[in-house]
A and B are shown apart, each in its own frame.
Chain A
């Protein structure tokens, strides 16, 4: 296990298209987080899972965004009808339940043209 893995690393899409990103957390970790990071800003919390349950969603997460973690292992983040404002780095992190050290993936950089 080499840590949190995110795919793809880069995604270029046209406005209006749907995109899906994948995150594979560290295998023993039951918490999984999604963040968005734009240029010059820190990571912004989007949502998190404990096992397969999505426990919280930020108000930043519009209804075009949906995240799943169907078996409590990997997670997907889908953005429907992408807009140019969705261009950002999307980061995934995982941690143990009850632990607050987050282990981050390398991120998926989305560019919406």
Chain B
């Protein structure tokens, strides 16, 4: 099946700093990638849709200036959490759609803001 990677797998940062998370489709090209966050024992919450070469589309309630998304190539999308605060601590997961239509998820990035 299609493989999606994320880097880093976990990160700890201090409040007020910025953190960048990378999402890569390793064996396919993805014009569209999605970013989710997930709190313990809850389902995934879609944050934004990332389109290659254009601006991301954010879900209602998600601050686009805080969660910066860049989809610079057909295999890479990045999510930057700017001026992170403890309430941003969460599990961030990306996904990408393969040509057959199935949507494949990365392994996730655990962010802890101290």
Q: Do A and B bind each other?
A: no
Q: Which residues of B contact A (CB under 8 A)?
A: none
